[in-house]
Each structure stands twice: as structure tokens, then as C-alpha cells.
Amino acid sequence: MPRKKKKNSRMYFTQDTENAIIRYNDSDDVVLRNKIYNEHIAHPFDKLAENIIHTFKFYYFDVPSEDVKHEVVSFLVMNMHKFKEGKGKAFSYFSIVAKNYLILHNNNNYKKMKSHDKIEKLDFVRNISSEKDLKETKEFNVEFVSQMLDYWDNNITNVFRRQKDILVADAVLELFRKKQFIENFNKKALYIMIREMTGSNTQHITRVVNVMKRYYKRLFKEFQSTGSIDTSNTGSIF
């Protein structure tokens, strides 16, 4: 009679981990949350951060890998409340969050991107520097992007229903949020970053970006006309 295979003891991020994250998010009891985190989440997060750093060779930081790992874990904890039960697996979600953080802060990636010269910017990011003076343009863009991000925070699941589409859209929005850390905002480099953050292919990213372009144009027109965007949970604007 063949022996049953033993459960892989090296599995560090399991369904029990996901259940613990859900319990953590559902609780308002600080003592209970600390207990859940220390007993069920801390080690999986630590191993997840460590494995992603070494798997994808994120070694180009100014501080030791151990310090980078602690920064990643802190970032995962900060974003734990964003994980929603039924919206995909926790392991996939937090893996993407960790890679997102590391990609955006990996100095070596930034240097590599500088070699991609004369490639057009993402064509849904409008350059209005010729329409206003530099100071007014900067203020205009900052406020528009801020309100646009608020709109997407409230409506991303209204526009996109599939989890893989939501992940790509959120990766695009994360680049807007972290744009001050990105030295080269060219199209090819950003597609590479989004692909690394989500695991999606270029064709899928393009489909999601094309939908977002339509919303971008509509929201930009609204902001130009009224000076603000209705950022409430409004559902589709098309």
C-alpha cells in the first residue's frame, strides 16, 4: 500500500494565515489583533518578504537586506486592511504588494530604466506644461491626480470586476501615487514595472490601460470645467 505524502512543512503562508488576516482585519480589539499577528501572521510575512527579495534579487538598496525585509514587512502590515475576503488569495495579494514596494524602491531598476531613451510617455498621462505656466501646471496636476486617485479608490471595483483586472489597475494607480520615486516615466519602463507587479502580460495590461484612458479623459474634462471631480462611489461613468 503506497504511503501518503506528508504535508509540506515548508509551507509558511497557508489558508490558516489568510484566515488569521481576515480575523485581524475584522477585530477592533488591539490586544487580540496583536495576539493574532504575533502568532499567525508575523512569521509568514517575514518569510514572504525574505523569499521575494532573494527570488527576484532585490539587492540594490543602500541598506542591508535584513533592513529591507523589515521595511517590506512594515509595508505589508500598513496595507493589511486593504485585503478583502473573497477578492483573491491573500498570498497572491501580499506577494504583489511586496513586489510593488521593492520594484518602486530598487535603485538598480531606476538606473536600468534610464537606458530606454526617446520612448513616449504613457499616452493617457497628458502633458499640459504648454498650456499654463510651470507653477500653475504643477499645482493643477497635483490636485487633479489627487482627486483622480480618490475617484479610483472609491470606484475601481465598479469599473473592473475581475480580480486580475483590478490588480493591474491598482498597479497603474500605485505608480501615480509613487511617481516622485520613479526617475524615468517612459512607457516601456512602466509596462515592465506593471508586469512585474502583477504577473500580467502586455496585452492584458494594455486592455486595462485603455479602459483607464477613457476614464482619465472624462475625469480630466470634468476637472477642467468645474475644478473638481465627483469622487464618490458613482459606478461607471460610461
Q: Taking the mean position of all CA atoms in its chain, how far away is CA 229?
A: 23
Chain segment 146-180, per-residue pLDDT in tens: 888 888 888 888 898 888 899 889 888 887 777 65
d(C-alpha 32, C-alpha 133), whole Å: 54
What is the reported pLDDT for 65? 81
Chain segment 186-212, per-residue pLDDT in tens: 667 777 778 877 888 889 999 999 999
What is the reported pLDDT for 101? 83
Q: Which of 43-57, 81-95, 109-123 has the lowest mean pLDDT?
A: 109-123
In sign, the C-alpha dihedral spanning 148, 178, 84, 32 is negative
Q: Are 176 and 104 in contact (CB under 8 A)?
A: no
Question: Mean per-residue pLDDT for 40-68?
Answer: 84
Question: Mean per-residue pLDDT for 42-66?
Answer: 84
The helix, strand and coil proportions of the chain, stated in percent and rounded to the nearest 5, come to 65, 0, 30
Q: Which of 31-35, 40-44, 63-67, 120-124 has the lowest mean pLDDT?
A: 120-124
What is the reported pLDDT for 99? 85
Burial class (CB in 10 A: 0-12, 13-18, 19+), 141: middle
Chain segment 212-235, per-residue pLDDT in tens: 999 988 988 888 778 788 888 665
Q: Nearest 5 degrees, angle CA 177-CA 82-CA 231? A: 55
pLDDT greater than 90 at residue 238 = no
pTM of the prediction? 0.47
What is the reported pLDDT for 100? 80
pLDDT greater than 80 at residue 116 = no
Record the cell numbers describing residue 21, joined without a space: 488576516
pLDDT greater than 60 at residue 124 = no
Higher-confidence position of 205 and 62: 205
pLDDT greater than 50 at residue 120 = no
Total count of residues recorded for the chain: 238
What is the reported pLDDT for 184? 46
Record the cell numbers describing residue 105, joined without a space: 524602491
> Taking the domains of the chain in order of start, what are their residue ranges?
13-105, 118-238
Q: Write the CB contacts of 44 (distance below 8 Å, at least 6 apart in sequence).
A: 12, 13, 14, 17
d(C-alpha 63, C-alpha 42), whole Å: 22
Q: Please provide the average confidence, as pLDDT, over all residues in the chain.
A: 77
In 3D, which of 56, 54, 45 has the Cα closest to residue 13?
45
Q: Write the CB contacts of 1 (distance below 8 Å, at least 6 apart in sequence).
A: none
Helix ranges (DSSP H) in 8-162: 15-26, 30-36, 42-55, 65-78, 90-105, 107-113, 134-159
